[in-house]
Amino acid sequence: MNNIADKKQISMIQKSFETQAASFDSKNYHLSKQEYLNYMIEKTAPQKTDTIIEVASGTCICGRAFAPFVSHVTCLDTTSAMLEIGKTECEKMNIRNITFVKGIAEELPFLDNSFDIVISRLAFHHFINVKEIFAEMKRVLKQGGKLVLIDMTNKDFADTANTIEKMRDNSHVRNLSIFEMKDLYTENNMTFEVQEETEIPVSLENWMNLTNTNKKNRQKIRQLMIDDIEGKSVTGFFPYYKQNDIYFNHYYEWFTHFFTKEKLKEYYDNLENMIIETDKTISQKIKLKNYTYINCQYYNIKKCAFNENKSFKLPKKSKMPLFILLSIIFLLISIGIAVGAYYLLAKVFKLDGQYISIIATLSATMVSIIGSIISAKVFNQ
């Protein structure tokens, strides 16, 4: 990242969030309300063995909420003051499985395929290079992992709404549309299994207090909201009066890329009908125990395309029980033949007992070997 505009934006973000850091975790603000955090965890459905990175984490509100449910959390942010607040809160809560990293979202300092869950919550409206950052998030995501994007969007009058957002916080760039969020996934060959919208009421005064909006801009924003309520102009916020204050609703869009159990079962059940397209060396097997997440990152109805050079052998439905059953049947037949041969040779042909035993054993062994070969060929074990 060498763009001067990008560096200027990072500087504005750091300055803005140094101001916000002390109040960012306040229960007066909607950002840290437990009901929203609980809902996010429920929808993401982390596993105890998962590792998570929260990109542009701020004080790691989201990461701290996930910490009890996963193996480890990494919180990355560019503002030291925010990370320090996060560390302090972790100490208060006795959370010991979080690492705090100062860094920028455009250049995540981690290897490819490092995390089971990559999440960014309420941050993308501060980014200039959203495509570059999304690609970085995908890069550090393990195949079969979950990439969660949560951010605000505008219903209408987006230009006016973004102008007001910048008056309140000059580190704001713009809210992406729902279609732009979708495109981030599709352009990276990723499906999103969850797309939801959450409507959250926000107090105008609390909203401006969080960023310490200057008095002049505060008055302008308040008057614009009043004019909108009275029908004199539009802001794109659709404000309303509530509890002697002006409120508006933020619309948070939730996108999650991962294989649900239902989708994975559907994938597994239809593997034999899929066209496999890869010119890479087949080296890695999928493990589908109890329909856990798999290494094929994206798919459609007719084919399963493999990401980059990550290729693998297709699993086969196990026929081992039938193989064992057929082998047992042939073994029983062999024993029957041995007993029959012994009786026939002893009673009818009156041969010596030593020869009878040898011939009967050889006959049974041959039948058993032939049966095993037939079983292996039939069931390809």
In a shared domain, residues 93 and 152: yes
In a shared domain, residues 357 and 305: no
Please state which of the ranges 36-45, 267-276, 351-360 shows the lowest mean pLDDT: 267-276
In a shared domain, residues 281 and 336: no
As a whole number, mean pLDDT of residues 330-349 equals 70
Domain that holds residue 367: 320-379
Q: In this model, does residue 9 exceed pLDDT 70?
A: no
In a shared domain, residues 289 and 157: no
In a shared domain, residues 245 and 128: yes
Residue 318: pLDDT band with limits 50, 70, 90: very low
In a shared domain, residues 86 and 226: yes
Please state which of the ranges 15-24, 186-195, 368-377 shows the lowest mean pLDDT: 15-24
End position of a domain, from candidates 257, 275, 293:
257
Residue 365: pLDDT band with limits 50, 70, 90: confident
pLDDT at 267: 47
In a shared domain, residues 229 and 94: yes
Query: Where residue 241 sits, what CATH number does that domain have?
Result: 3.40.50.150
Indicate the number of domains in the chain.
3
User: pLDDT tens digit string along 126-151?
Assistant: 898 999 999 999 999 998 899 999 99
In a shared domain, residues 221 and 267: no
In a shared domain, residues 144 and 62: yes
Residue 228: pLDDT band with limits 50, 70, 90: very high
In a shared domain, residues 345 and 366: yes
Residue 279: pLDDT band with limits 50, 70, 90: very low
**Helix (H), strand (E), coil (C) string for the chain:** CCCHHHHHHHHHHHHHHHHHHHHCCCCCCHHHCHHHHHHHHHHHCCCCCCEEEEECCCCCHHHHHHHHHCCEEEEEECCHHHHHHHHHHHHHHCCCCEEEEECCHHHCCCCCCCEEEEEEECCHHHCCCHHHHHHHHHHCEEEEEEEEEEEEECCCCHHHHHHHHHHHCCCCCCCCCHHHHHHHHHCCCCCCCEEEEEEEEEEHHHHHHHCCCCHHHHHHHHHHHHHHHCCCCCCCCCCEEECCEEEEEEEEEEEEECCCHHHHHHHHHCHHHCEEECCCCCCEECCCHHHCCCCCCCCCCCEEECCCCCCEECCCCCCHHHHHHHHHHHHHHHHHHHHHHHHHHHHCCCCCHHHHHHHHHHHHHHHHHHHHHHHHHHHCC
Quote the mean pLDDT of the chain: 75
Q: In this model, does residue 2 exceed pLDDT 70?
A: no
Q: In this model, does residue 286 exceed pLDDT 50?
A: no
End position of a domain, from candidates 214, 240, 257:
257
Residue 90: pLDDT band with limits 50, 70, 90: very high
pLDDT at 305: 29
Residue 278: pLDDT band with limits 50, 70, 90: very low
pLDDT at 100: 95
In a shared domain, residues 41 and 182: yes
User: pLDDT tens digit string along 239-266?
Assistant: 999 988 999 998 888 888 765 445 555 5
In a shared domain, residues 114 and 236: yes
